[in-house]
Structure 1
C-alpha cells in the first residue's frame, strides 16, 4: 500500500505554523562555510550569481544562478565557497510546523532544488525582505502569504512530492474531525462530540489532536473561527453581528476574543484593512 497522499488532500496544512526569522539578499564572503551541522530552522536560498557548494543530507550540490534551494530543519548540512566568485543569493530562515513536527518531517520531496521563474522569485523575495523590515499588523499577514507562495512554488516544481502518512487509521479519523469542524463552525462543539467522531476516549483524543494540529480542540476551533471572521471582515461587507453569528459566537464575546487575538476591535480592524479612502 502506498504510504503517502497528495499535499492538497491534507487538512493539517491549513493549520501550519509559519514563522520568519530573517530575510535578506547577500553576496557571501569567501570565508562563508560551515560543515556537518543540523539547524532547527528551514533555510531557503534563491541563487542569482556566483558559485559555491551545498550538502543537504547525503546530496551534494554546486548551486547555479536561477536555482531555488530548500534546506530543511533537522537535516545534516554543509556549505562553503569554492572560488572568489562567491554566491549572491536571496535567502530566508523560517520554521514551518505541523503540530510538534516540522513540515519537512511530513513531506517527502524528490529534490531540494528547483528552477522557478526568475522575475517572480526575485519579486517574492524582495517583498518578503521589505515586509520583514516592518513591524505592523498587515506585514505579519503578508509575510505568511509570501512564505506560502514560496513554498507552493517549490513544491509545484520539485516533481514527486508526497505527504508522509504514517498512521492511516489515525489520519483518517482526524481528517473526519477537522472536516466536521470546518462544516459546523457556526455550531457549538464539545470535546466529547469530536472524540466520538474519532472513536477515541476524550482524554486520548485531546492528546492526539494536539499532536496533529499543535493546538487543543477548543483552541483550534476558536482560531478557525477567528480566521474565518478575519476573512469576512476583510473581504465582505457583512455586519459585525452577522459575522459573529456565522462563527457561532455572541457579539460581545466575539468582539472581546477578536481584540485579544489581533489587538484591534473588529470595526477598527475592518477600517485598517480598508485603508485610506479618497474623498
Structure 2
C-alpha cells in the first residue's frame, strides 16, 4: 500500500530506453495530491474510484479512463477495498517532434470502445517479449493519441493561459509542500494565509479549486495517511500517533480517522496485524 506519494512524482521508468510505461495496480488506498511533467492515463477495470484533477472530482466506472495532462494536480479516493486499473505513462521523449505544450485532453473519458480496444491491445503488447524496438507499442499509442486528438482535445491554450496555469501550479505546489513539511505542527487556514501572504478567504477558495478539498480537509486527510504509516509500522500508542501527526486531541483524531477510513485507529491496527 502506498500512502505518501510526494507532490512532484518523478518518472519511475527509464525514459531514455523507452518513453512509454504500462503497469497495472490493485490499490486499496488513496494517493495524495501530486503532479508530474508527463502525460498519464488511468484505465479502470473496476468501479468506484474517485479521482480529483485540478479541483474537480470524478467517480469512475469500469472501462473509464482518466487523463492527467502535464502539471495537472491530481489525487484519489478509494470507495471499496480494491480497485484494479492500468497506468499508461507517456514521457516527453515520445513527443520529440510534436509540440504539445499548449494541448490538453479532457480529463474523464467514459467507456469509449475505441479507447478500450487500444488499451487492451497495449496490455497484450506489453506482455510480449519482442525484438521490434517497441514499434508495436508505439504504433498502438499513436493510434490511441490520434483518437484522443480527434475526439477529446481541449482547445489549445494561449501563451498567457499557459503562464497562468504554471504560476497557479507553482503556488499550490508551494502550499502543499509546506503542509507536507509541517503537518505535525498546528496548521490553520489563518496561519497558511499568513505564511503565503494571501487573503484567508481567497486562499480557501483557491485551494479548494485546485485540490477539490478545503485546506482543513486536505490537512486532515494528509495526517490520516501519515497515521496509517505509524499504525502499520510502529508500536506507538494511539495518543502518541495522534500527537505525532498533528492532532492534540486523541478523541478528535479517532473521529477523523473513522470518518476517513471507516474504522477507528485501534480497529485498523488490529485488522492490519491479522493480515
Larger radius of gyration: 1
